[in-house]
Amino acid sequence: MTTTEIKVENSENIEPLLHTKVGNATNANFPVDDRGAVYHLGVAKGELSPRILTVGDSERAAKLRNELLEDAEKPVSHRGFVIHNGKYKGVKVSIVSIGMGPSMMDFLVREGRYVVEGPMAIIRYGTCGSLKDVKVGSLAVASQAVLIRRNPDFWHQDKHSDCKNYDISLPVDGDKELVQTLTNEFRSTFTDRETVVGINATADSFYSSQGRIDPEFDDDNHNLINTLIEKFDNKVTTLEMETFQLYHLSKRSKQPIKAAAATIILANRLSNAFLDNETKSRLEIEGGRACLDALIKIDLNN
Ligand code: R1P
């Protein structure tokens, strides 16, 4: 692998990253360089495990690697993606931080699919806001996901038009077996905390499409949260920015991808409560361990 070593400043106990250099690509339809590295993830075939734990925050990924992986290789980074390869209880896994939003998950699933041979399992472990009456610091597993997209045509030429301001998709299922395995792991890990299971709403903005009111912008989103609650009979539990893309693409993949997602409930959108950093940090490790336990239990070939 062609890499450049970069020191990460101000991060305790975080390994220096090896920055992959992707060379000249030869295929505009699906760019891959002469080494076989995909254009954004920067890895080639064999450099990513079929069992992937993906998170948004690169520091969360580094902590999970430091605390939980054996035989961890030096992390590899390209275009904001960081890949930590190693073993968990003797099984090869990759922990991948992707940043935020559906497009970053799109890169991971598509380019990950290209570089992995055969069936895969992907678990996302993130943070979210909740629309249920649960304490912050509770956990959530997404049985299904819907996508909320801001429709720019509503604001066309500075006038509000007749079309919908936000489109809300139909629900897509996670992999039932992996969702159940993940739920069991969370419930046995967090005996003193609630793990809620329900519909995730993935939004294309942290702000407008999640119903946050920003006085600086014309977002026309005052009713969005209520619409979401009513449309799905109060079964929407979480709001975040990646799970739908993971579930949708996993279902559309021609080779099997089992997908599930869990989140730490960081914010309660009904009560306006927000979790403290110390508890969040602890839940990242404990929940990460539960995710890895689920990830290695799953039979990829069945
Ligand atoms: C927004 O703050 C980010 O946090 C959540 C959202 O999905 C979005 O990516 O997940 P992560 O904590 O995994 O990044």
The best mutation among 97, 104, 206, 266 to test binding of ligand 1, ranked by most ligand atoms within 8 Å of the C-beta, falls on 206
**pLDDT for 196-249, tens place per residue?**
999 999 999 999 999 999 999 999 999 999 999 999 999 999 999 999 999 999
Residue 127 Cβ contacting ligand 1 at under 6 Å? yes
Q: Which CATH superfamily is domain 1-117 in?
A: Nucleoside phosphorylase domain (3.40.50.1580)
Amino acid at 59: E
**pLDDT for 71-114, tens place per residue?**
999 999 999 999 999 999 999 999 999 999 999 999 999 999 99
Mean pLDDT (whole number) for 154-174 = 95
**Distance of alpha carbon 196 from alpha carbon 141, whole angstroms:** 6
Pairing of strands 51-55, 81-88: unpaired
Residue 62 has pLDDT above 90, yes or no: yes
Q: Which CATH superfamily is domain 126-302 in?
A: Nucleoside phosphorylase domain (3.40.50.1580)
Selected residue with higher pLDDT from 3 and 281: 281
Confidence of residue 1 (pLDDT cuts 50, 70, 90): low
Do the beta carbons of residue 102 and residue 65 sit within 8 Å?
no
* Domain ranges for the chain: 1-117, 126-302
Do the beta carbons of residue 206 and residue 188 sit within 8 Å?
no
**Distance of alpha carbon 20 from alpha carbon 3, whole angstroms:** 4
Pick from 206, 174, 31: nearest CA to 102:
206
CA angle 164, 269, 126 (to 5 degrees): 95
Pick from 139, 134, 113: nearest CA to 52:
113
**Distance of alpha carbon 255 from alpha carbon 301, whole angstroms:** 11
Structure-block tokens of residue 250: 């996993």
User: How many of the other CB atoms lie within 10 Å of CB of 127?
Assistant: 19
Predicted confidence at residue 158, as pLDDT, reads 85
CA angle 263, 67, 17 (to 5 degrees): 90
Tokens 């991060």, located at residue = 11
Mean pLDDT (whole number) for 155-176 = 95
| Separation of CA 68 from chain center | 19
Residue 207 Cβ contacting ligand 1 at under 6 Å? no
**Distance of alpha carbon 277 from alpha carbon 280, whole angstroms:** 5
Same fold, 1-117 and 126-302: yes
Mean pLDDT (whole number) for 5-19 = 63
CA angle 128, 208, 139 (to 5 degrees): 10
Confidence of residue 13 (pLDDT cuts 50, 70, 90): low
Can you list the positions of beta strands (E) in 98-150?
A: 120-130, 139-150
Provide the 3-class DSSP secondary structure of residue 115. Answer: helix
Residue 100 Cβ contacting ligand 1 at under 6 Å? yes
Ligand 1 atom at minimum distance from 264 CA = 12
Mean pLDDT (whole number) for 175-195 = 98
Residue 10 has pLDDT above 80, yes or no: no
Residue 240 Cβ contacting ligand 1 at under 6 Å? yes
Predicted confidence at residue 8, as pLDDT, reads 46
Tokens 């404990």, located at residue = 286
User: How many of the other CB atoms lie within 10 Å of CB of 44?
Assistant: 18
Predicted confidence at residue 4, as pLDDT, reads 58
Q: Mean pLDDT for the chain?
A: 95
